[in-house]
Structure 1
Amino acid sequence: MENRAGTYPGKGKEMTTSPRLMVLYTGGTIGMQATEQGLSPASGFDVRMRHFLSQKPGRALPEWHFRELLPLMDSANMTPAYWLKLSAAILEAADQGYTGVLVLHGTDTLAYTAAAMSFHLLGLNIPVILTGSMLPPGVADTDAWENLDGALQTLAAGAPAGVHVYFHGELLHGARCSKIRSAGRHPFQCLTRQRSTTGRVSLPATLLARQSKAVADVAVLPLFPGISARHVQAMVAAGVRGLVLECYGSGTGPSDDEAFLASLRGAHSQGLVIVAVTQCHEGGVELDIYEAGSRLRTVGVVSGGGMTREAALAKLQVLLGLGLSQMDIAYWLEQDLCGERGH
């Protein structure tokens, strides 16, 4: 790991006053350079970052420090274990008096990491912004410097506490966005989800950022015509402890397949936590509207409301990692902890 200081040269002198920003570099396209095997995350991005910022002397930024969070990676290789490392680094920065954290991250799993940080860092009272780029620095039409500069300016101006995604001039809720485009501008969007009916709840100490967490085995299973009990049974046999069930519409599934429903009931009886989200880009899950949804609830499936796949996966991962009981996890899944259940 590296921890190097940098200051933004503004108006002929260096700024050393508060606020102070920590930049955590995890890899991704924003820091990639060409190799014989193709583009790969490279060390030394702080040098390139400092060079870029030095070309904008008329706009001063607060003091910033840079840290490489090793190993640097293409975000396609992101893991829940890395999320633990990243959240620990963010908490360490907060403890050291940094007033904001910028995470540089690849775009493929950036929405998953933003959702994960939203739940790993519940109660943290500083802003955390994740950004990256669709094209690496040095190529035509790169968005790397635009996103980096915009995210830094947003933090310097006093972004609200919580986890956010900054891309192409937009500040998005960290637990409500998804990657909707594989190329071009504005790859991330906050999906239009139904508003939570429960309202935001007060956070108990057991869910706050500094509680010790472990990595839990969580999977996603989309429903599709022809899905059967053996697909669920394969998840159980693999040792999965939590399952995000991507349902049709407002939360329906094959209600006339008794074997499929029995497999879900059996998984629940073995301690699995199963949460339903919708496959649709808009709306959310309401399990009691249709019989095909209410039968899912009777076999132990929990409603994910307006949560995205990324939010449900991350929330389930964190709740299981805290060692909570199946009943407690089911309860907290249906509560709005940070605005994840819709807007």
Structure 2
Amino acid sequence: MRRIRIIATGGTIASQDNGNGLRPTMGPETIVNLAFSEDDEFSTSIRRMVDSGELCFDIKEIMSVDSSDMRPELWNRIGEEIDRCVGERYDGVIILHGTDTMAYTAGALSVMFKNLPIPVILTGSQLPIEAEGTDAKDNLRDAVKALLLMADERNIDSNIQKSIYIAFGGRLIDGRYAIKMDTDRFDAFRAVDSLHETKLNSSDFKMNEEYGSDPAGAGDPTGHEEDNRYTKRDSDNNYSYTEFSTSKVQLIKVHPGLSPDMLEAMLSCNLDAVLLELYGAGGFPSLYDSLLPVIGDAVGRGTKIYAISQCMYRKTDLTRYEVGRKLLDAGVISLGSYSTEYALAYIMMNYSKA
């Protein structure tokens, strides 16, 4: 029998309007029943499997929040539940989650877990499951379909690791590369590197051959072997789970008009580390009101500074332009082509203090 844990955390998928706007109030059992209540071939098959004892949905609500309220303490609660599922030998986990911070949670879980023996898939919706024309049912069905495929060793390509994914809008996306790109469209999530997403086809679900493959050294965003504690899959294949604790990490987006005084004010808060979102492949103001001395001073005070591109489809390369090389000379570390959400979680974990 296949056992799937469904963890509910709230979000739009569970929301109803009580007259003051949407908020999550619907129980997860109702959500699952609604998702598989229709007469399509897959829903019918799932109901048959449940009735015959071939499949069990073990449903648990651990919180009911608007995902705007997600924070590291709640990531730890989700992580604890996933870790428990690993110990109890579930075949996989589906997390019902709000869309606004789903990519942040996917990135955080990708950092917290190493060598997961089961797949974990986050999903949700742009419209509540009771809304007319909702995307919730398709997304949850896709998550179950993808999880069942990945749980079956006979169907899984060796490149596809049992790790953290988002199933949304007909796509399955590696949690380290996922971003939310649209407030309303049903295909709201994409990967910042197209190699790390695949389309989910309702009639013949297959993954791209190149899906899940990593460029050399990509498991560690920094490329620094000494920081390589939170990769997706290590050569020793030992499973581990690490919780977040306190860290002082700041995300700063470079923009026209960012002055040295403004940047210095943001960097003078006794921070552990900073993630800078740069222009293009690694552009940074260096001519008028140059920010480089501020960066150099911060590094000199012991603040680690990391850099990633602002572009949706990205490859951060600080060696391409002179200004990027100046950042490298100042001690800034490039984080490559990962999502900002994953990069931020990676840094937060590196500087977590018990």
Give the alignment's TM-score, normalised by structure 2.
0.79
1:93 matched to which residue of 2? Answer: 85
Matched-pair contact (CA < 8 Å) for 1:124–1:161: yes
Distance of 2:250 and 2:218 partners within structure 1 = 27
Q: Which amino acid aligns with 2:348?
A: Q
**What stretches of structure 2 of length at least 5 have no aligned partner?**
152-160, 196-213, 231-238
Query: CA–CA distance in 2 between the matches of 1:301 and 1:203?
Result: 16
What are the residue-to-residue correspondences of 1:198-237 with 2, within 5 Å? Answer: 198-200=217-219, 206-207=229-230, 209-237=240-268
Tell me which amino acid in the other structure corresponds to 2:17: A
Q: Provide closer, same or farther for how the CA distance between residues 38 and 221 of structure 1 changes in structure 2, counting only shifts above 3 A.
A: same
2:107·2:342 contact (CA, 8 Å) conserved in 1?
Answer: yes
Aligned pair in 2 of structure 1 residues 321, 64: CA closer, same or farther (>3 Å)?
same
Assess if the C-alpha contact under 8 Å between 1:28 and 1:105 holds in 2.
Answer: yes
C-alpha change, 1:111 and 1:206, in structure 2 (3 Å) is: closer
Equivalent residue for 1:240, pick from 260, 271, 280:
271
3-state SS of paired residue (2:286): coil
What is the aligned counterpart of 1:136 among 108, 111, 128? 128
Q: Using structure 1 for the length normalisation, give the TM-score.
A: 0.81
SS at match of 2:241: coil
How many residue pairs get matched?
305
- Kept in 2: contact 1:193–1:283 (CA 8 A): no
Question: Distance in 2 between the 1:203 and 1:252 partners?
Answer: 27
Match of 2:12 among 13, 24, 29: 29
Where does residue 183 of structure 1 map in the other structure?
Answer: 184
Moved over 6 A (4+): 201-205
Separation of aligned partners in 2, 1:203 and 1:122: 16
User: 1:277 aligned to 2:278?
Assistant: no
1:169 is matched with: 170
Give the AA of the match of 1:65. D
Give the % identical residues: 30
1:239 is displaced (CA, Å) by 3.8
Cα distance in 2, alignment partners of residues 212 and 86 from structure 1: 10
Q: Per-residue CA shift, 1:38-65, capped at 9, x if unaligned?
A: 1111152213423543554443252121
1:11-160 to structure 2, matched below 5 A, reads 17=1, 19-50=2-33, 52-53=35-36, 56-59=43-46, 60=49, 62-70=55-63, 72-158=64-150, 160=161
Aligned CA distance change for structure 1 residues 77 and 250 (closer, same or farther; 3 Å): same
Paired residue for 2:201? none
Q: Please give the alpha-carbon distance, in whole angstroms, between the structure 1 residues aligned to 2:79 and 2:56.
A: 22
Give the direction of change, closer, same or farther, for the CA distance of 1:169–1:304 in structure 2 (3 Å limit).
same
Which whole-Å CA distance do the structure 2 matches of 1:209 and 1:270 have between them?
33
